[in-house]
Structure 1
Amino acid sequence: MVDTTNLPVRPQTFAELTELIGTELGPTEWHEVTQERIDAFADLTGDDQWIHVDPERAAASPLGSTIAHGLYSLSLGPAMSYTLLAFDGFTHSLNYGYNKVRFPSPLPVGSRIRMRASIASAEQVAGGIQVVLRVVVEREGSDKPVVVAESVARVVE
């Protein structure tokens, strides 16, 4: 049995991965969403839409403040997931993509977010193991998550 009391969980084999299916991992530590971080993300991606980078204009909007890009929240997924689940016992691992991504609620500046995850599936495929991780990024004080996604990884024993 894989011990899930200490994070990150470190499965070493396909069998240990399958033992984890359905087990909730997390939550991670809180991440503070600041205007500086939102602006840096906007600079990096070239997405400088006013709802993200113009606090004055955004304050007058129905949202009442700037909000982080949906992809800002999603881009934190790998770093957050590494604190929950480590594949360092495998020869190689990589981010293979996403099956589903949704942004159910906005993420206002000044919020704090964290992630929970669970392994939805682990199956042997040509060249390794495909692991599907269901991730939920939650905002402190909100009933609705800001991200719900299925992250896909490939690992090699």
Structure 2
Amino acid sequence: MSPQDMTALVGQTVGTSDWFEVSQERINKFAEATGDFQFIHIDEEKAKLTPFGGTIAHGFLTLSLIPVLTAESDCPRPENVKMGVNYGGNKTRFIAPVRAGKRVRGHFKLLELEEKRPGQWQQTMEITVEIEGEEKPALMAEWITQFFV
């Protein structure tokens, strides 16, 4: 779909991703990549003694899943994209922890889409990351990306 046609979707929920498992192995690799070795993420025995009852994903790990959740979603894709980049966020809230082994999925609402310069588009998406079987979502974010056609 052309970016121009996608502007008609502003204000609408545009997609949902497949479920994605947040394994302990992924959490451990994220700890190694970021240097965040807080015990609530990597020490299963100590984490059992916390109110979480076990290890939990880093909030930033959950946030970093946005690209894969987007890729595995049924969101419309702009055609002829040469490159896309993260631009930042307006709001990000970590609402509930993601326990190791849980599955999450993203829900996407298109808030804004505008052409900043010829061929350069900026998209703001409200993203809610749901945790399977839980009432509260893991996070809500307004995430901004730019893509070039």
TM-score by length of 2: 0.90
Q: Does 1:130 align with 2:125?
A: no
1:135/1:149 contact within 8 Å kept: yes
* Residues in 1 aligned to 2:46 and 2:100: alpha-carbon distance in whole angstroms: 14
Greater share of strand: 2
User: Gapped runs of 5+ residues in structure 2?
Assistant: none
The percent identity for this pair of structures is 37
List aligned pairs for 1:60-75, cutoff 5 A: 60-75=49-64
Question: Which residue of the partner structure matches residue 156 of structure 1?
Answer: 148
CA displacement, residues 68-125 of structure 1 (integer Å, 9 cap, x when unaligned):
0001111110121123343342343222121211101111112110101011011222
Aligned with 1:52 (options 41, 54, 65) = 41
Is there any run of 5+ residues in structure 1 with no aligned partner, and where?
1-10
Residue type of the alignment partner of 1:123: E
CA contact (8 A) 2:6 2:78 kept: no
Instruction: Indicate the SS of the match to 1:48.
Output: coil
Match of residue 109 from structure 1? 100
| 1:143 alignment counterpart | 135
Check the 8 A contact 1:12/1:90 in 2, yes or no. Answer: no
Paired residues of 2:7 and 2:113 also in contact (CA < 8 A): yes
Following superposition, which runs of at least 4 residues in structure 1 exceed 2 angstroms of deviation?
A: 82-93
> What is the CA-CA distance between 1:42 and the residue it aligns to?
0.5
Corresponding residue for residue 12 of structure 1? 2
Q: Which moved more, 1:129-138 or 1:20-29?
A: 20-29
* Contact 1:118/1:135 (<8 A) preserved: yes
Q: TM-score, normalised by structure 1?
A: 0.85
Q: Aligned partners of 1:42 and 1:18: how far apart in 2? A: 39
